Amino acid sequence: MGLFDDPAWHGKIWLDGWTEGSAGTLDVTEPATGSTLGRIGLADAADAARAAGRAADAQRAWAELPYTERASVMRRAGELWERYAADVEWWIVREAGSLTAKAQMETHAAAQECYEAAALPSRPYGELLAGEQPRLSMAERVPAGVVGVIAPFNFPLILSIRSVAPALALGNSVILKPDPRTAVCGGVALARIFEEAGLPEGVLTVLPGGADAGKALVEDPRVRVISFTGSTGAGREVGAAAARALKKVHLELGGNSAVVVLEDAELKPTLAAAAAGSFLHQGQVCMTTGRHLVHRSLYEEYVEGLAANAEALPVGDPADGDVALGPLIDVGQRDKVHDLVQRSIAAGARLVAGGRYDGLFYRPTVLADVPLDAPAYAEEVFGPVAPVVPFDT
């Protein structure tokens, strides 16, 4: 029997079993084809409040278990990620528009995160404290309580499990809010794996939902820690709200990383690495190569080579054939990327390759002579766009 064969999860949220979400349901849409893959339940602020209360109650008993029992659950979860890897990878390819190799990387990482987490429960014992009185003083490290995890669509499994697994291992309960666009591979999969691994009810809750559900998690006083991965704008709001409540908050936000190509660079391998850096998973990666800074002596050859590389990359349905790029996640993301490209061209950038799309399939794009104040240089693109700028010193 496969991980997702039980129909109980269809149209439901994971809150003390598969239950109806207060915000209704949402179709799970395959971005490459537009096909409907299933339905998920949607949570709202009321569900988040109910989950926080249940998680706070369940956490106490979970934390009181011998650490060996928590470690055993994590080891079983790691084994289950390996056993069900093909099932989960199917969903990562279909639901997130990922290449098979990227999906395999995610399931491998999920298993390893759980194996690593299995070593954590015995670690936070505490420390002896120095003091002037003739007595033994000790500081004990204890679980934080309820941890809220808000995860994005681009690497839905990795960016969920890397927070969920260690938090659970250390005796916390977790409320996971996956992005509704990838709520099966980034949410349902975790609920099913940990259910089968023997995690007690209430210790993990999975609430796909919108901003209202996320806001409720951040503001609920029973949620002591927030782990958020997403856009810089949303992260500012999460950080501010958590700070008002004096909560611990972990933020991984956007980026605009650069590759710097010096005059002694060997171009062929450099171009291959730079193209992969900009176009991996359609550029929907926070640490993608967002800017190419190239010494002027190599500039024209580099631009020409990068454009040739981009034009040669096949774009299509990652489930059907040998492609290098799949679809962007949805129409909103595609339109945002295309608008940024068009505004950059209007600002003076030169379009050398790409700049066009078919449905959600956006061609890998190379922009040369990009002004430093153009959107493609100054902003995070989150699409398959490589802005190239020369430098002299």
Active site amino acids: 252, 286
Judge contact between 139 and 126, C-beta under 8 A: yes
Residue of 196, 202, 197, 161 lying closest to 178 (CA atoms): 161
Rg (CA), the chain: 23
Q: Do 386 and 376 contact (CB within 8 A), yes or no?
A: no
- Cα→Cα distances 43→17, 47, 94, 178, Å: 14, 6, 23, 11
Two tokens, residue 273: 């690495």
- Residue 392, classed as helix, strand or coil, is coil
Q: Would you give the DSSP letter of residue 363?
A: P
- How far is residue 344's CA from residue 313's CA, in Å, rounded to a whole number? 23
On whether the CB atoms of residues 385 and 278 are closer than 8 A, the answer is yes
Beta-carbon count within 10 A of 149 CB: 26
Rounded CA separation 34/203 (Å):
35
